[in-house]
Amino acid sequence: MSMAIQDASAPAASKKINWYPYILIAPTFVTLIVVSLVPFIYAVYLSLHEARYGVVKDFVWFDNYIQLLTEPAFWNAMYVSGLFVLIAVPVQFMLGLGGALILNRGVAGRSLIVPLLFIPAMMAPVVVGLLWKIMLAGSWGVLSYNVVERFNIVTESSIFGSPHYALYALIFIDIWQWTPFMMLAFFAGLQALPPGPYRAASVDGAGPLRTFFKLTLPLMAPLLFIIGLLRIIDAFKVFDTIFILTRGGPGTSTESLSILAYKMTFDFWDIGHASALAVVVWIIFFIFCNIFYQVAKKKLNAF
């Protein structure tokens, strides 16, 4: 009889909800809603209205989006941001992975090299901007005097004053700042790989290249793709370095999407137009991240 009572009460006990995990994630979840979701919904609302100089006026449907997509400034900013990503991120990825492989094999002074690699990523964007403004300033900067002018690379007064080379200088600075970070991330991933498969590959006579492509890359695929995706997102929305060094100039040669959004908001106070730009960029990244995830999951087994 007692066993029957216990069996009857078992389903009721199994249906009891454990609220402890939800309580733990609740603060983060609420914070994300307050600081991310609510402002985004408000940005969508503003993008559908005529909003200028802090005053929300008439509902204009998709006029802000149509105006944005027909503006040459938007497509120029898309080109600048896209070129920045297409050059900076692959170079950072290859240099970071190559440096991580060298560190993983053991080099003299590794315990000193690894802490030094943190320095560029730890530096504030303002410091990075000022540092490189001094390095490449006019005719008296260290690199300007010894490299740029000596080899007659730029005829303008400063490399940042050249519409042809300013963007590439900014890309170089981004590579300098974030390649060590990617190197450290990949090095940590290599250190965490299990030694068993490598011993088996050595016994089977696999060479270094075969081991790298058949073992190292597949095992590190999740880390490689996560770090790569984060850097693509971060590089696409770069603002601080460009703002400090060129403010989008000369002309619009370094005007990225973030700089364009800043000018729309704080120079022209066209809030509705700037909100439409923010929503369009979000849609682009939402589609890109979903495609990126599906390809990495199904084709490369990264997740």
Whether 257 is covered by a domain: the verdict is yes
Confidence class of residue 104 from pLDDT cuts 50, 70 and 90? confident
Biggest distance spanned by C-alpha atoms of the chain: 98
Q: Is the peptide bond before 250 cis (omega within 30 degrees of 0)?
A: yes
What is the predicted pLDDT for the residue at 253?
93
- Round to whole Å and give the CA distance between 263 and 277: 12
Whether 20 is covered by a domain: the verdict is no
Q: Which CATH number covers residue 136?
A: 1.10.3720.10
Q: Which of 195, 229, 191 is nearest to 215 (CA)?
A: 195
Whether 139 is covered by a domain: the verdict is yes
| Contact call for residues 253 and 44 (beta carbons, < 8 A) | no
Whether 58 is covered by a domain: the verdict is no
What is the predicted pLDDT for the residue at 133?
86
Q: What is the pLDDT of residues 195-245, one digit of tens each?
A: 888 888 888 888 888 888 888 888 898 888 889 989 999 999 899 999 999
Query: How many structural domains compose the chain?
Result: 1
Q: CA–CA distance from 127 to each of 31, 134, 240, 246, 271 (Å)? A: 30, 11, 11, 15, 30
Range of the domain at 69: 63-298
Whether 259 is covered by a domain: the verdict is yes
What tokens were used for 200?
């088996």
Q: What is the pLDDT of residues 3-53, one digit of tens each?
A: 445 554 555 545 678 888 889 999 998 998 898 889 899 999 999 999 888
Whether 26 is covered by a domain: the verdict is no
DSSP 55: E
Whether 53 is covered by a domain: the verdict is no
Q: CA–CA distance from 196 to each of 193, 200, 201, 247 (Å)? A: 9, 6, 9, 52
Query: What's the mean pLDDT in 280-299?
Result: 85
Whether 17 is covered by a domain: the verdict is no
Q: Which of 164, 153, 179, 178 is nearest to 246 (CA)?
A: 164
